[in-house]
Structure 1
Amino acid sequence: MTPSHGPSGPSHGSPSPWSDLDRPPLNTTALRRALLRPGALWTSLDIVPETGSTNSDLASRAGSLPEGAVLVAEEQTAGRGRLDRTWSAPARSGLFFSVLLKPRVPVARLAWLPLLTGVAAATGLARAAGVDMSLKWPNDLLVNVPGPGGKEERKTGGILAERAGDDGVVVGVGLNVTLRADELPVPTAGSLALADAVSTDRDPLLRAVLRSLEQWYGRWTAAGGDPAACGLQEAYAAGCATLGRTVRAELPGARALTGEAVAIDGDGRLVVARADGAGREAVGAGDIIHLRPVG
């Protein structure tokens, strides 16, 4: 993304953390005090001014770190999303972080981790930022941004989970917080600020997301990864904007499937009632495009 210069000065690539007064740096000391407690999931929290990818950095150290390590970057220059897409934004304009988890659950249940993170992030941000958030299967965070024709559904965040080492999973979250309209990488992107969030202070937003993630992760692991038993499957379906929509699923092997998204199954897959009348198909991987809104 090409950086822009807003009214507060350059928002990208400046040597001073206070070059954009609307985007102060995160407070490492306060965040550690709030989140690193005896018996808590989070065991360490580090903030770096800039890195290529927090997921790559944390994954490279997964073997030497305990569960619960958190790595945050004020700026990511080579952030990655699903399907090898890139994620970049001006310095301190969002939350870009990864966490190291080592869940003791059956391997088949690990597909629920990005969905769990989506539920946790949407729940925490709705409470702390005062915005209505929804989920696009499997791992996008959506907000409604006022537009000329009314509210427009925009992507404001994404989640990427990757195996790391023998027993670890690194889960990365990228979230646009204060991006202005002229800074959006694509017209379909959004931010909490553009969605009229009551707060864009990144410190309480990060605390809210990590606390929500700790709660959901604890419930899920206590249930042995069973998404129904811990309420995760129901919560994801309730917040999923994909369900009830006509969608096109672009699948591996250059295959496409069109139909109505009707359910999330026990393996975290999207169940699509095929438009050609050939029954239902569970989609475990692919790119989902919303064709028509609910109703």
Structure 2
Amino acid sequence: MNVSLSVDAIAAGAAAADVVIDIVGETASTNADLLARIGQLRQPTLLVAESQTAGRGRAGRAWLSGAGDSLTFSLAWPLLRPMRELAGLPLAVGVALAETLAQLDVPVRLKWPNDLLIGDAKLAGILIETALEKNGDQQVWAVIGVGMNLALPPALAQQIGRPAAALSPALAQDRNHLLGRLLGGLANALRQFDREGFAAFKARWNGLHAWRGKTVQIIDQGRVEREGVATGVDDQGCLLIMTENGMAPVLAGDVSLRMKDEGDVTHAVAG
């Protein structure tokens, strides 16, 4: 049985994150809820839901989960950097989550641009949406949605239909401690991103790159747009692949990444 979510317990695990924490029993989408509150928020805000009924992901995908089987939350964070400098933010968030999980003895690797893997199976996904507060300051907000598998009952695994992973029962049981640690890691990373940009995360991301040296395909609207060997990411967070015509950078957008001769293993991310 999962420990009940608690604002005080999450805050204790997050140390000095200085974040407002809200918990709801059920909502359609924590990302959508926080985006609707932009203009009313006065400091970073975490919204965590026991259950999401319409979690959203990249390219219109959905996050599939059963009650209590996923950790689903969104973090609204005000940024000093302009939107044009935020392309690497999803990768920086991936690094923060992966490094925090490593401290908890979970060996996570990163799949460009927004997935956390254990082995070849997806543990978690990230969806970041940005908004501009329409006031005199034109404040930029990032809403960072995360969905992480806590358990994979057979029916859910069959519904997902792709390789998926879950945390150990011991780690998944105390969601407050887990979420507090993740929140603390995210808060530190977001402050660093604001100061230093993606440059502070590039080498760390490349060190966690799950598909480095693999032949991959870039899929756009169902068509193979590019093929080559994945080598890492550049200073902006673009994926670098070595093609027949040389090195080519790929911007995330709504493209999908898959290994050559395999089905598209990208499934939905939270929000």
Q: TM-score range by the shorter chain?
A: 0.7 to 0.9
Amino acid at match of 1:95: L
Give secondary structure in 2 for the equivalent of 1:241: coil
Q: Which residue of 2 aligns with 1:289?
A: 258
Question: Does 2:138 correspond to 1:163?
Answer: no
CA contact (8 A) 2:12 2:180 kept: no
Question: Does 2:47 correspond to 1:71?
Answer: yes
Q: Which residue of 1 aligns with 2:226?
A: 257
Quick check: 178-187 or 256-265, which moved more? 178-187
Shift in Å at residue 205 of structure 1? Answer: 1.2
Give secondary structure in 2 for the equivalent of 1:116: helix
Unmatched segments (≥5 aa) in structure 1: 1-21, 145-152
Distance 1:104 1:250, change over 3 A: same
Q: Which residue of 2 aligns with 1:142?
A: 117
TM-score after normalising by structure 1: 0.79
How do residues 6-21 of structure 1 correspond to structure 2 at under 5 angstroms? none
Question: Does 2:160 correspond to 1:186?
Answer: yes
Q: Which residue of 1 aligns with 2:203?
A: 234
Higher relative contact order (CA 8 A, sep 6+): 2
Equivalent-residue separation in structure 1 for 2:165 and 2:232 (angstroms): 28
Question: Does 2:108 correspond to 1:133?
Answer: yes
Give secondary structure in 1 for the equivalent of 2:160: coil
Q: Which residue of 2 aligns with 1:221?
A: 194
Give secondary structure in 1 for the equivalent of 2:48: strand
Amino acid at match of 2:184: R
Q: Which residue of 2 aligns with 1:203?
A: 176
How do residues 51-70 of structure 1 correspond to structure 2 at under 5 angstroms? 51-70=27-46
CA contact (8 A) 1:24 1:92 kept: no
* Matching residue within 8, 22, 30 for 2:9: 30
* Matching residue within 236, 245, 248 for 2:214: 245
Amino acid at match of 2:242: A
Question: Does 2:88 correspond to 1:112?
Answer: yes
Unmatched segments (≥5 aa) in structure 2: 134-139, 263-271
The one-character-per-residue Cα deviations of 1:251-281 (angstroms, maximum 9, x if unpaired) are: 369452111011201111001111xx11222
Equivalent-residue separation in structure 2 for 1:246 and 1:56 (angstroms): 36
TM-score after normalising by structure 2: 0.86
CA contact (8 A) 1:251 1:257 kept: no
Report the aligned-residue RMSD: 2.1
CA contact (8 A) 1:76 1:88 kept: no
Give secondary structure in 1 for the equivalent of 2:2: coil
Equivalent-residue separation in structure 1 for 2:218 and 2:144 (angstroms): 24
Count of residues in correspondence between the two structures: 252
Q: Which residue of 2 aligns with 1:9?
A: none
Q: Which residue of 2 aligns with 1:278?
A: 245
Distance 1:165 1:109, change over 3 A: closer
Amino acid at match of 1:199: L
Equivalent-residue separation in structure 2 for 1:262 and 1:33 (angstroms): 39
Equivalent-residue separation in structure 1 for 2:260 and 2:3 (angstroms): 39
Equivalent-residue separation in structure 2 for 1:99 and 1:179 (angstroms): 24
Amino acid at match of 1:279: G
The one-character-per-residue Cα deviations of 1:171-215 (angstroms, maximum 9, x if unpaired) are: 10011112234422324242334xx56522212111111111112
Amino acid at match of 1:31: I
CA contact (8 A) 1:94 1:202 kept: no
Give secondary structure in 2 for the equivalent of 1:242: coil
Q: Which residue of 2 aligns with 1:10?
A: none
Distance 1:158 1:59, change over 3 A: same
CA contact (8 A) 1:48 1:74 kept: yes
Bigger-Rg structure (1/2): 1
Give secondary structure in 1 for the equivalent of 2:181: helix
Percent identical: 35
CA contact (8 A) 1:74 1:96 kept: yes
